[in-house]
A and B are shown apart, each in its own frame.
Chain A
Amino acid sequence: MSSHVMDVPAAAHEHHGLIIENQRLGFWMFLGSECVFFASLIGTYLALHGRDIGNLGPRQLFDIPYASILTFVLLSSSLTMGLGVAAMGRGEVRTMRRWLYATLGLGLVFLGMQVNEFSTYWRAGLHMNSSLFSASFYTLVGFHGLHVTFGVAWIIALIVYSYRAKGLDASQTVRFETAALYWHFVDVVWILIFSVVYLVGVLQ
């Protein structure tokens, strides 16, 4: 009888662990599908980036030092996010929260700089419908910016949640892990955009 009573929580624990594993697996599948999404946008951009109008092409517009700063900001935010998750692994919620704040700040700096970059191009006369180059550029980099915006909103939600949660068990830490994975993935996509869109665009 007593062994039967002990089996119920054990089974529940196992079921709970399975749910967490499925959440992780589902998120990796989602990231795999995101690879396809961004590959199609980058492929389209590469095919169309030569179809600009006159003096409004990648060579005339792109500011490599500025794009490099964007890269360093996002790389730093990925590092702070990783350090936050490492702090979570040690059970140090306050330290984790500090790193999340740092990640949030860097994410907001990135977004602010990207809005500034877009507005500079817009003022120079590069609108969404100016050329095939502008349409593919704004779509690709804009969608990446939307992903960063979603990531920033997610981090804010996690910070709020960290104040409300009493301790972090496995079901709660998986929320932070998936957010960190998402943030690293967004950074990976930016490395591709920086290399393929900005550098190759200016060099060609």
Chain B
Amino acid sequence: MADAHGAGTPSSPTEIIRSYVRVGVTLGLLTVLVLVLAYAGVPVGILIPIVIILAVIQIYLQADVWMHLNHGRRLYTIFFVSGAIVALEVFLAALVLMWTH
């Protein structure tokens, strides 16, 4: 386990637990914020980009702290991010193909 953590990652057990709980609470609060905005009557044109941005922040927090993506070996990050980039391309291609046919 220890070798999965690198520089910048909390090292003491208490720090690790604190950082995990902090991220958990932050993710919960961001979800609540999304719900509040959804029911607050914010115009849809503004709300949808906000929802997407908040989802990206949540995903980044999960990948960074809980999955140790930025603190493990660089090769892991490269393989995962490569997959994510291909995923984004597939996602956009699927949207373009289906909307134009």
Contact = CB atoms under 8 A, between A and B. Distances in A.
Interface of A: 21, 24-25, 28-29, 31-36, 38-40, 42-44, 46-48, 64, 68, 71-72, 75-76, 78-79, 82-83, 85-86, 88-90, 173, 177, 180-181, 184-185, 187-188, 191-192, 194-196, 199-200, 202-204
Contacts of A180: 66
A191 B58 contact: yes
Contacts of B20: 79, 82-83, 86
B24 A36 contact: no
Contacts of A33: 83
B83 to A, nearest CB: 2
A39 B99 contact: no
A38 B84 CA distance: 10
Contacts of B13: 86, 89-90
Contacts, number: 142
Label chain A's interface by main secondary structure: helix
B94 A24 contact: no
